[in-house]
């Protein structure tokens, strides 16, 4: 059961686009589906979410919940069946984002699909996990006080399991008791400062109490904890837009990638259709793909000990030099995201750009070292460059 994605989706969607939320006809079906998912009855959950999708074809949430259930089901499958479920989950998540670009559940599903390495958060004890599962069924049934009792019992059984505190706060949040929710969310951040969701939910509780500056401060901490959680960036962008300091999304989508087969041979997958033929964009994407292929091949053969981050930083540095060479021949970059990366390269900011805007869990050692060296690095980067992933 993936409580992290199912909890708070409706309660915390107050900042999301209208297309995310289901209408009144779909909401009871969504609730029934969530109760079924909490019980592990994935087929019933999918049926209910599908009915909700038909009841409100413009809402993204039924699709994102379908994606989440398919991802949950894939964890209990193997081989081709698991691959099929993950592929279906990706398709549903991307379809949801076409309806609601800020749908937090869809964004989290894609994050989990794209980066299989998990953040260094504590795994619960069996007793705590069983209590959380029991609490989830109660929570999805609207029995918030009883659910909270289960979550708090889980926190007592395993005090270092921070999600139990998040879920307890979630119950208060669903009852619009923002101060009590704040207390529990803050406790979760104290137990595990790298729990990005805890910081994000704490920000919501503060925002509902009118403390917008505090909400922004803790969102920055949430991004520092887990930079690849897009919902945190979305909420930060919303707060900064209200303050007259909007963020610009980088929106980098590779147009050339390296693909390896089972024998270790690789080929390049190229999609130049969306690029200006007279620009330097294709040359940059080709450089990145080729460098990535070389690194992955060397890693497979034991010819390199470079970390993924070191390899990616070197790849982007080389790609930006390719752009400089192309400019000398009259070909300029055109893609806004690549132009932003070029600007950061010239400002000697590729390292924080990759750590914050292109983060993967494999970057964790370098991220923690960078944060230690730059205690206010995240807030400074955001304030200076105004960029988001």
pLDDT at residue 11 in the model: 39
Per-residue pLDDT averaged across 58-84, rounded? 94
> What is the sign, positive or negative, of the torsion defined by CA atoms of 169, 174, 180, 183?
positive
Same domain, 144 and 235: yes
Same domain, 378 and 263: yes
Contacts with 79 (C-beta within 8 Å, 6 or more apart), sequence order:
none
Q: Is residue 140 part of a domain?
A: yes
Same domain, 288 and 357: yes
- Indicate if the pLDDT at residue 4 is higher than 60: no
Q: How far apart are the first and last CA of the chain?
A: 28
Per-residue pLDDT averaged across 67-91, rounded? 94
Q: Is residue 120 part of a domain?
A: no
pLDDT at residue 275 in the model: 62
Mean pLDDT of the chain: 91
Q: Is residue 119 part of a domain?
A: no
pLDDT at residue 260 in the model: 76
Same domain, 260 and 379: yes
Same domain, 99 and 173: no
Q: How far apart are CA 264 and CA 371, in angstroms?
A: 36
Same domain, 107 and 170: no
Same domain, 262 and 226: no
In total, how many domains does the chain have? 3
Same domain, 220 and 276: no
Q: How far apart are CA 305 and CA 297, in angstroms?
A: 12
pLDDT at residue 127 in the model: 97
pLDDT at residue 67 in the model: 96
Residues found in the chain: 389
Q: Which of 219, 246, 273 is the last residue of a domain?
A: 246
CATH for 94 = 1.25.40.10
pLDDT in tens, 146-159: 999 999 999 999 99
Share above pLDDT 90 across residues of the chain, in percent, rounded to a whole number? 82
Which has the higher per-residue pLDDT, 12 or 368?
368
Per-residue pLDDT averaged across 218-241, rounded? 96
Q: Is residue 281 part of a domain?
A: yes
Same domain, 77 and 139: no
Structural domain containing residue 65: 3-114
Which has the higher per-residue pLDDT, 273 or 303?
303
pLDDT at residue 274 in the model: 59
Structure tokens belonging to residue 152: 């708090």
- Indicate if the pLDDT at residue 2 is higher than 70: no
Same domain, 373 and 298: yes
Alpha helix segments (H runs only) across the chain:
3-6, 27-38, 42-55, 61-74, 79-99, 104-114, 126-140, 144-157, 162-174, 178-191, 196-208, 212-225, 230-242, 281-300, 308-328, 336-346, 350-357, 364-373, 377-385
Per-residue pLDDT averaged across 347-370, rounded? 97
Q: How far apart are CA 165 and CA 206, in angstroms?
A: 16
Q: Is residue 251 part of a domain?
A: no
pLDDT at residue 1 in the model: 40
Whose tokens are 């910081």? That residue is: 199
Structure tokens belonging to residue 383: 């304030």
Q: Is residue 121 part of a domain?
A: no
Angle at which helix 377-385 crosses helix 350-357, to 10 degrees, equals: 100
Q: Which of 201, 216, 246 is the last residue of a domain?
A: 246
Residue 257 banded pLDDT, cuts 50, 70, 90: confident
Per-residue pLDDT averaged across 320-339, rounded? 94
pLDDT in tens, 6-40: 444 433 433 444 567 889 999 999 999 999 999 99
Q: Which of 79, 114, 149 is the last residue of a domain?
A: 114
Tell me which of 146-150, 242-246, 275-279 is least confident: 275-279
Same domain, 264 and 377: yes
Per-residue pLDDT averaged across 295-311, rounded? 92
Per-residue pLDDT averaged across 209-215, rounded? 96
Backbone angles phi, psi at 318, to 5 degrees: -65, -40
Same domain, 267 and 383: yes
For residue 13, which of 106, 96, 109, 103 has the smallest C-alpha distance? 103
């Amino acid at each position: 059961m993936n409580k992290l994605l199912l909890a708070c989706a409706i309660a915390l969607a107050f900042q999301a686009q209208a297309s995310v939320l289901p209408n009144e006809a779909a909401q009871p079906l969504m609730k029934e589906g969530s109760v079924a998912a909490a019980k592990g009855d994935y087929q019933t959950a999918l049926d209910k979410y599908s009915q909700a999708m038909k009841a409100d074809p413009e809402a993204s949430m039924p699709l994102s919940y379908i994606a989440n259930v398919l991802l949950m089901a894939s964890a209990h499958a193997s081989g081709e069946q698991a691959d099929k479920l993950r592929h279906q989950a990706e398709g549903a998540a991307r379809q949801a984002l076409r309806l609601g670009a800020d749908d937090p559940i869809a964004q989290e599903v894609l994050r989990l699909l794209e980066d299989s390495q998990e953040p260094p958060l504590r795994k619960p004890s069996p007793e705590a996990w069983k209590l959380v599962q029991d609490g989830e069924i109660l929570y999805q049934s609207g029995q918030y006080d009883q659910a909270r009792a289960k979550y708090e019992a889980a926190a007592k059984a395993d005090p270092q399991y921070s999600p139990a505190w998040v879920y307890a706060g979630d119950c208060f949040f669903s009852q619009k008791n923002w101060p009590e929710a704040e207390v529990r969310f803050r406790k979760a951040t104290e137990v595990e400062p790298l729990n990005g969701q805890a910081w994000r939910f704490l920000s919501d509780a503060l925002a509902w109490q009118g403390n917008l500056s505090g909400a922004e401060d803790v969102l920055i901490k949430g991004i520092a904890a887990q930079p690849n959680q897009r919902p945190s960036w979305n909420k930060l962008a919303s707060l900064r837009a209200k303050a007259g300091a909007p963020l610009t999304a980088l929106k980098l989508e590779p147009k050339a990638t390296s693909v390896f087969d089972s024998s270790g041979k690789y080929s390049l997958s190229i999609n130049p259709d969306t690029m200006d033929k007279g620009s330097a964009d294709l040359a940059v994407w080709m450089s990145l793909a080729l460098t990535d292929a070389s690194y992955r091949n060397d890693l497979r053969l034991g010819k390199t000990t470079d970390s993924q981050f070191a390899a990616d930083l070197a790849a982007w540095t080389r790609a930006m030099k390719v752009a400089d060479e192309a400019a000398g021949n009259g070909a300029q970059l055109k893609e806004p995201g690549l132009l932003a990366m070029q600007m950061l390269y010239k400002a000697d900011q590729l390292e924080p750009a990759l750590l914050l805007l292109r983060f993967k869990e494999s970057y964790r050692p370098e991220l923690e070292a960078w944060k230690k060296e730059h205690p206010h690095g995240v807030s400074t980067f955001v304030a200076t460059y105004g960029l988001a992933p």
